[in-house]
DNA sequence: TAGCTTATCTGTACAACGTTAAGATGGAGT
DNA sequence: ACTCCATCTTAACGTTGTACAGATAAGCTA
């Protein structure tokens, strides 16, 4: 009997799949109760193990959330990359598609996104996390480099930096404010929820995305 | 001997100024340890009272933080209003000044700002909070109304809504990302901290603030 | 001034949390 | 068959938020 099979059998002393199931439980808890509602003991309870069991897979509670954040940044980076590719050759379209992907990811995976930018909640020194986060961020930088025709390795021009920050700010701000419910009045006007925001108000907003000056 | 005077004397059974000092302690804790590091007991300790004392002034821990958030939104609204007035008659300048005020407030009062947008940390039903928050955000709406020449009471046009959300997103995103340390690479490049971001990178970013189409 | 009322604070207690230490279990490799 | 050791449990400790009963003193009424 394999380890994974043993996991479905109840009360096996050795869980067999605890690490992954702790991550899954953590994501579920954050989704249900918000980042604030997460507790390590609850995650252990859902996985059917004692409160001390997670210590054998993660340094502490913030370590487990570090793994959740890492997986979030990995998928996030891939989503941005897919958006970038959808943009083809046009620098503006590449940035526009990335912006759409950015907000779409946030609204499709609110638990992950909220955690990823909830500083202090997870261990930022978790192995691989910094690299994975940087990788995601560099997808955006790459598109800005192309838009400003910067050679690889060269520093971006001040204006290119400003543009990079402006684009990042507008999509991140929109995602953060939407998840925070600050645009609920807008959704209520159209009688819808997240879908309305994504399909109706995001395009309305992103059409004001600044154009790269070169 | 007045109540306030009694407060400085040590170990008076009745504190005399507990409510305000709990708020001050809470802000100090958040500033030092981040929103995550706040505990009610620590606030009580700093005010020199027992852990049960705050209950007579606030329903619970989230109630105290609700008061902190309320005071934050009050000052925030006033800062935005001052910016709006600095903008004079020019709609774009009004919005630009408000944007500057928005980010400046966030960087000058990081503890308050982080708390204000930390959903789940404070009691959103705290008396007066919703009204104070709405009031602050209506300062921005008012300027957009002027820019789009909307009559008071009328609904904004879809494009005006989109513009409102875009402007709000870009300044909020910039503030949130800066406080989260996401622009540290930029500050490091210029060898500075928050001041560098405020004085150098904010103008560079806000110059991409979209213009109202009418 | 004396007595009563009430707001404010203390002391104690409890459940839940994160984390650690010591011991139990059983799969994997020799 | 035997040993090793990763994995899990049980038990315990200190900290947290909060409830409850009682202590204190400030303010009001007479």
Q: Which protein residue lies nearest to nucleotide C24, measured between its Cα and the C1' atom?
A: A13
- Per-residue confidence at B6, pLDDT binned at 50, 70, 90? very low
CB A87 within 8 A of CB A96: yes
For A90-159, the DSSP string reads -HHHHHHHHHHHHHHHHHHSHHHHHHHT-TTTS-TTSTTHHHHHHHHHHHHHHHHHHHTTPPTTSPPPHH
Paired tokens of A111:
């638990």
Q: What's the rounded mean pLDDT across residues B143-170?
A: 93
Nearest Cα neighbor of B116 from B79, B148, B161, B165 is: B79
Average pLDDT over chain B, rounded to whole? 91
Residue to substitute from A38, A170, A212, interface B, most B β-carbons within 10 A:
A170
Whether B170 sits inside 8 A of A168 (CB atoms) is no
Whether A177 sits inside 8 A of B168 (CB atoms) is yes
pLDDT digit string (tens) for chain A, length 214 residues? 333 333 344 457 666 799 999 999 999 999 999 999 999 999 999 999 999 999 999 999 999 999 999 999 999 999 999 999 999 999 999 999 999 999 999 999 999 999 999 999 999 999 999 999 999 999 999 999 999 999 888 989 999 999 999 999 999 999 999 999 999 888 887 777 778 888 889 999 999 999 998 6
Nearest nucleotide to B11 (CA to C1') is: C9
Nearest nucleotide to A56 (CA to C1') is: D7
Judged by DSSP in three states, B50 sits in coil
- A186 vs B120, B161, B167: nearest CB: B161
- B154 Cα to chain A: minimum distance (Å): 13
Whether A36 sits inside 8 A of B171 (CB atoms) is no
Which residue on chain B is closest to A170 by alpha carbon? B170
> Measured between beta carbons, which residues in chain B are less than 8 angstroms from residue A119?
34, 36, 180-181
Is the model's pLDDT at B113 over the cut of 60?
yes
Whether A205 sits inside 8 A of B158 (CB atoms) is no
Which residue on chain A is closest to B178 by alpha carbon? A169
CB A26 within 8 A of CB A46: no
Whether A182 sits inside 8 A of B158 (CB atoms) is no
Which residue on chain B is closest to A186 by alpha carbon? B161
Q: Which protein residue lies nearest to nucleotide D20, measured between its Cα and the C1' atom?
A: B52
Asked whether residue B62, judged by its CB, lies under 7 Å from any atom of the DNA or RNA strand D, the reply is yes
Instruction: Quote the CA–CA distance of B205 and B201 in Å, as a whole number.
Output: 6
Question: What pLDDT score does A11 carry?
Answer: 55
- A174 Cα to chain B: minimum distance (Å): 5
Instruction: Quote the CA–CA distance of B167 and A206 in Å, as a whole number.
Output: 11
What are A's interface residues with B at a Cβ cutoff of 8 A? Answer: 34-37, 117, 119-121, 137, 155, 158-159, 161-163, 165-174, 176-177, 180-183, 186, 189, 201, 204-210
> Measured between beta carbons, which residues in chain A are less than 8 angstroms from residue B176?
117, 172-173, 176
> Using CB atoms within 10 A of its CB, is residue B142 exposed (0-12), middle (13-18) or buried (19+)?
middle
Nearest Cα neighbor of B205 from B188, B180, B193, B187 is: B187
Q: What is the pLDDT of residues B173-189, one digit of tens each?
A: 999 999 999 999 888 87
| CA-to-C1' span, A18 to C30 (A) | 28
- A8 Cα to chain B: minimum distance (Å): 35
Packing angle, helices B61-86 and B18-33, rounded to 10: 80
Domains of chain A: 1-57 (1.10.10), 60-206 (1.10.357.10)
- Per-residue confidence at B81, pLDDT binned at 50, 70, 90? very high
Q: Which protein residue lies nearest to nucleotide C9, measured between its Cα and the C1' atom?
A: B53
Is the model's pLDDT at B74 over the cut of 70?
yes
Packing angle, helices B158-179 and B129-147, rounded to 10: 120
Question: What pLDDT score does A4 carry?
Answer: 39
Instruction: Quote the CA–CA distance of A152 and A165 in Å, as a whole number.
Output: 19
Q: Which helix (H) or strand (E) holds B94?
A: helix B91-108
Q: Which residues, at least 6 apart from A162, have a Cβ–Cβ distance to it below 8 Å?
A: B201, B204, B205, B207, B208
Nearest Cα neighbor of A72 from A25, A110, A41, A101 is: A110
Which residue on chain B is closest to A177 by alpha carbon? B169
Q: What is the CB neighbour count within 10 angstroms for residue A148?
A: 19
């Amino acid at each position: 009997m394999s380890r994974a099979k043993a996991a479905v059998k109840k009360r096996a002393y050795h869980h067999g799949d605890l690490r992954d199931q702790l991550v899954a439980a953590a994501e579920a808890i954050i989704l249900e109760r918000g980042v604030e509602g997460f507790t390590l003991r609850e995650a252990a309870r859902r996985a059917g193990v004692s409160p001390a069991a997670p210590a054998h897979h993660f340094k502490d509670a913030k370590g487990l959330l570090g793994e959740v954040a890492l997986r979030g940044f990995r998928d996030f980076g891939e989503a941005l990359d897919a958006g970038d590719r959808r943009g083809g050759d046009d620098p503006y379209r590449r940035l526009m598609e990335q912006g759409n992907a950015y907000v779409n990811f946030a609204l499709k995976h609110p638990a992950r996104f909220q955690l990823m930018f909830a500083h202090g909640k997870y261990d930022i020194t978790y192995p691989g996390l910094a690299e994975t986060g940087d990788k995601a961020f560099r997808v955006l930088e790459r598109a800005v480099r192309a838009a400003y025709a910067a050679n690889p390795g060269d520093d971006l021009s001040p204006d290119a930096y400003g543009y990079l920050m402006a684009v990042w700010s507008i999509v991140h701000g929109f995602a953060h404010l939407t998840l925070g419910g600050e645009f609920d009045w807008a959704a209520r006007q159209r009688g819808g929820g997240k879908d309305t925001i994504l399909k109706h108000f995001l395009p309305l907003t992103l059409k004001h995305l600044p154009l790269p000056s070169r």
